[in-house]
């Protein structure tokens, strides 16, 4: 059986996504510096097409290193698997990273960070008919009708 060789296998580089949490005590300027520093680490090891999401301060589902919140960031990049190990070793040395995860992904045609298309609004289809008009009823007529119903 003949297997097709993918572009990644030819070039030896694969597409990865790095997701990580930074300590919440960092100032916003420090967070952006840390993200830039991590991007530089990836590029120094031969990574390219490095794109990072905007840092977002979020609550954690459970405490990590005694922290209950943190800045969540993810970075997409391409790199060879051998160089990825060097990136991972440098990430382990960073004191401000609470936790990280590197996942091998398939390359997308568009960036995850590109603007999202707005969904078309669905028009509500009403199946209701117009309500019947309420007319004033004479109490004597109402009593007569009730008597007729109760006699049956």
Domains of the chain: 11-105 (3.30.70.60)
pLDDT value at position 1?
47
Is the per-residue pLDDT at 11 higher than 70?
no
Is the per-residue pLDDT at 5 higher than 50?
no
| 16-58 confidence digits (pLDDT tens) | 999 999 999 999 999 999 999 999 999 999 998 888 999 999 9
- Comparing 5 with 70, the larger pLDDT belongs to 70
Closest residue by Cα to residue 54 from 32, 38, 34: 32
Share of the chain above pLDDT 70, in %: 76
Mean pLDDT confidence for 77-104: 93
Could you give the CA distance from residue 43 to residue 61 in angstroms, rounded to a whole number?
32
pTM surpassing 0.75? no
- 76 contacts: CB under 8 Å, gap ≥ 6: 15, 16, 17, 18, 49, 50, 51, 105, 111, 112
pLDDT value at position 38?
94
pLDDT value at position 73?
95
pLDDT value at position 119?
57
| 131-143 confidence digits (pLDDT tens) | 667 777 788 888 8
Model confidence at 9, pLDDT cuts 50, 70, 90, reads low
- 69 contacts: CB under 8 Å, gap ≥ 6: 24, 57, 58, 59, 60
pLDDT value at position 110?
57
């Amino acid at each position: 059986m003949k297997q097709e060789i993918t572009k990644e296998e030819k070039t030896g580089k694969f597409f990865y996504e790095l997701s990580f949490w930074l300590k919440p005590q960092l100032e916003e300027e420090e967070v952006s510096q840390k993200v830039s520093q991590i991007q530089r680490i990836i590029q120094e090891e031969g990574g390219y097409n490095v794109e990072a999401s905007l840092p977002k301060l979020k609550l954690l589902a459970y405490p990590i290193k005694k922290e209950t919140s943190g800045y969540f960031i993810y970075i997409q990049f391409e790199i060879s698997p051998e160089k990825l190990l060097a990136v991972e070793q440098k990430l382990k040395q960073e004191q401000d990273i609470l936790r990280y995860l590197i996942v091998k992904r398939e390359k997308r045609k568009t960036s995850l960070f590109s603007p999202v298309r707005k969904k078309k609004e669905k028009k509500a289809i009403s199946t209701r008919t117009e309500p019947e008009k309420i007319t004033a009823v004479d109490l004597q007529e109402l009593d007569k009708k009730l008597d007729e119903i109760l006699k049956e």
